[in-house]
Amino acid sequence: ELNQQRKNKKNQSQQKELYWLIVFIIKNITIQNKQTIFTEDQVPNLRDQCNLLKQSLSLMHPLHQFYYYFLKIEEKMYHQIVNLKEKMQKKYELIRLINQQQKQKSIIK
């Protein structure tokens, strides 16, 4: 039952990741289709340069959201690994102490 719950959570997180990937791609395509793509040689005046900058920013925004989302996931995974490592170290330390006590008891007898 516990394993089933873990699998369900894992599937849900994978579905969320896929969902955000699709949303990102759709947003990016939509933004590119809505706007006229300028190149630097086509911007003779300040108004067009301003439009070019706004366009670049609007295209970058979903990309940053996308990377931010996956960086958060990566950060959570890193913290989980660190926590697991600390737990394992504590566990091994306890086992070492227990073994040491058992050796002392066997020596005394």
The confidence score (pLDDT) of residue 3 equals: 83
Give the separation between CA 109 and CA 105, rounded to whole angstroms.
6
User: For 81-89, what is the mean pLDDT?
Assistant: 91
Kindly write down the DSSP assignment for every residue of 48-88, as one continuous string. Answer: HHHHHHHHHHHHHHHHHHHHHHHHHHHHHHHHHHHHHHHHH
Instruction: Say how many domains are in the chain.
Output: 1
pTM of the model: 0.37
pLDDT per residue over 15-24, tens digit each? 888 887 777 7
Domain holding 39, by residue range, is: 2-108
In tens, the pLDDT along 28-69 reads 665 555 555 555 555 566 666 676 677 766 666 666 777 777
Indicate whether 92 pLDDT > 90: yes
